[in-house]
A = this chain, B = another copy of it.
Amino acid sequence: MRGFAPAEFKARLAAAQAGMAEAGLGAILLTTEPEFRYFSGFLTRFWESPSRPWFLILPSQGDPVAVIPSIGAALMQSTWVRDIRTWAAPDPRDEGVSLLVAALREIGGPVGLPSGPESSLRMSLADFERVKRGSGLGFRDDAGLTARLRAIKSEAEIDKIRNSCAVAGRSFARVPEIAREGVPLAQVFRDFQRLLLEEGADFVSYLAGGAGPEGYGDVISPATERPLAKGDVLMLDTGAVCDGYFCDFDRNFAVGPPSAVTAEAHARLIEATAAGLGAARPGARACDVFAAMAAITGGGEEAGRLGHGLGLQLTEGLSLSPRDETVLAEGMVITLEPGIETGPGRIMVHEENIVIRAGEAERLSPFAGPEIVVL
């Protein structure tokens, strides 16, 4: 099934409204894609265009109000949102400001805005000032409410992430079809995205990776035209999307027989992942799961963390780092992403996806074994 039943959105709204009552908010104003989609079901790639702002207001009582460009009206009518107000955007003279101001005045404040870690406001600062002035309402942070709600996934959401993981799992199994000595990394990147689409991804929002002797320099660089060489470790890390939900995991491959360093590093990463899996239980803190993995890899926090939340975005919510004391709870979907240094400026990183359950966490990605796959 695509999307969610209206009951799911009603439950999300009810939870938000309970939190709003506690936080003393009259409304929450959402401007960014994941929050907007979480409460409305509005799914489109059109957010790629920065030209138009989109606004969703959650009132403290009653149903959401969408204040959106007219180009989105037809799609919005297919969601559960009924109160849809549109303007002919882009309009540099009034980019939805007066319509938004009127809706906010009708609903009343104070208005909560996601303002904490990872948040941003997807509208121009100039228009934000106009909205604050025009509405005469108080604006403040949403007390972390939307982030906390999104962190606990429903079973319907978990099903979608599990599906994205399965798509990527089948694609990783086919990497030997496309990658071997002599193939340029950029070609591998293009072909791997093709495999993800063939296996059922709606789109491939993220692909990163690297290749080099016994490891790679980083995990965010675009691919170069350098051909794979014997002794390389190839890593592919993907955020494929099905029905709006991401997976985010990777696989390492040895180009030709792996060196002892490579084989040992890979086995160590798998061991660290298993330790993370064991530690990732309700009541444990994010930093505890970090510690369980770091004890085996000896640090490896080059990326700033050894895992993170996952769902409507490639990364969202908590970080498995010494600095994050978020307490894990059932329904949280996270990645386990240990890294290890294999030489000067060389690393290997492994990543899997899990959901926190009452006992041991459930594996969402098909966990890799300790032996690195040889191409």
Contact = CB atoms under 8 A, between A and B. Distances in A.
Given A115-B126, A120-B50, A74 B194 contact: no
A143 to B, nearest CB: 11
B120 A304 contact: no
A119 B115 contact: no
A190 B201 contact: yes
A319 interface: yes
B91 A50 contact: no
Contact of A193 (B74, B115, B203, B206): B203
Interface in A167-219: 186, 189-191, 193-194, 197-198, 200-208, 217-219
Contacts of A121: 120-121, 125
A22 interface: no
Given A124-B116, A126-B115, A220-B46, A323 B75 contact: no
Interface string A80-117: 00000000111111010000000000000000010111
A122 B124 CA distance: 11
B186 A190 contact: no
Contacts of A157: none
A120 to B, nearest CB: 5
A315 B89 CA distance: 13
A88 B321 CA distance: 10
Interface stretch (A9-17, A65-73, A270-278): A65-73
A137 B166 CA distance: 51
Contacts of A200: 190
Contacts of A202: 186, 189-190, 222-223
Contacts of A304: 52, 69-71, 88-91
A323 to B, nearest CB: 6
A49 B314 contact: yes
Contacts of A95: 117
21 contacts: A44-B208, A44-B221, A50-B315, A51-B308, A70-B302, A71-B302, A71-B303, A74-B218, A75-B221, A90-B323, A91-B304, A91-B321, A91-B323, A93-B323, A115-B124, A115-B126, A120-B121, A190-B197, A190-B202, A194-B194, A203-B204
Please name the 7 residue pairs, one residue from A and one from B, whose CB atoms are nearest each other, closest first.
A46-B220, A49-B315, A74-B218, A115-B125, A190-B197, A48-B206, A50-B118
